[in-house]
Amino acid sequence: MQITILNGAPPDARYKNFELFLEKLAIYLDKDRHSVTHLKLRNMNIKYCNGCFGCWVKTPGECLTADDSRTVRRESINCDLLVFASPIIMGFTSAILKKTMDKMIPLVHPYLEIVQKECRHRKRYDKYPPLGLILDKPVDGRTDDEDIAITRKIFERLSLNLRSTLRFVIFDHTRIEEAVDEINHI
C-alpha cells in the first residue's frame, strides 16, 4: 500500500516525541512492505489559499500560486492511504496542516451535487484514498476531549467532501505495533 503522511508538526522542540513516533511508524510500515512518503510540511513552501477560485475556473485542478502544494496534492491523490498528522494546538491541528488542507480544494470540482441529502463537491478523480489522523495530545491539560471530538468531526467532514472515509484517529502515545495493525486493517 502507498501511504502518504502529511506531517504538520511545527519546528518546535516540544514536538520531538511526535516526530519520533511518525518516523518510527514510517519505518515499521516500510518493514510491513508499505511504501511511505513522509512529507514534513514545515520544510515545504506552502502558501495560504487566497480564495481566488482560480483552481476551479482558470487552471482547473491546479492552484494559481506556484508552491509545494502541487506536490502535496499529487502525493495525496495517488496514494492508497492519506494520513494527516499534527499536534493539537489551541484546540485544532497546526496552522501548517490547516493551510495545507485549504490548498487541497482543487482535488474536487466547484460544481455541487446532492449526496445522502447533503451538498458535496463533484469528484474530480475516480478514486480518493481513505484518510487517517494521527494526533499529539499534549499532556499539559490545554487539550480536552471536546477538542479531539471537534477535530475528528472536521476530518470526517473533509473525508465526505473527498468522497472518502476517515478510517482511524490515533495518538502518538499509541504503541507503534497497534498503529501499524490499525493501518493494516484498511
**At residue 112, does pLDDT exceed 70?**
yes
C-beta separation of 159 from 128 below 8 A = no
Mean pLDDT of 7-22: 93
Mean pLDDT, range 101-123, rounded to an integer: 93
137 pLDDT above the threshold of 90: no
Would you state the pLDDT for residue 12?
87
Residue 186 has pLDDT above 80, yes or no: yes
The helix/strand/coil state of 53 is: coil
Q: What is the CATH number of domain 2-184?
A: 3.40.50.360
pLDDT for residue 141: 67
pLDDT in tens, 145-180: 899 999 999 999 999 989 899 999 999 989 999 999
Share of the chain above pLDDT 70, in %: 98
pLDDT band at 72 (very low <50, low <70, confident <90, very high): very high
Cell of 125: 478523480
Q: What is the structure's pLDDT at 139?
A: 64
Residue 142 makes CB contacts below 8 A (sequence gap 6+) with: 90
Instruction: Return the domain boundaries, the chain.
Output: 2-184
Question: How many percent of the chain have pLDDT more than 90?
Answer: 86
Tens of pLDDT, residues 48-58: 999 999 999 99
Mean pLDDT, range 65-94, rounded to an integer: 95
The grid coordinates listed for 89 are 494546538
Name 108's Cβ contacts closer than 8 Å, sequence gap at least 6.
121, 122, 123, 124, 161, 162
Closest CA to 133 of 99, 102, 171, 95: 171
What are the helix (H) ranges across the chain? Answer: 16-31, 54-57, 69-77, 95-102, 145-161, 176-184
pLDDT for position 143: 78
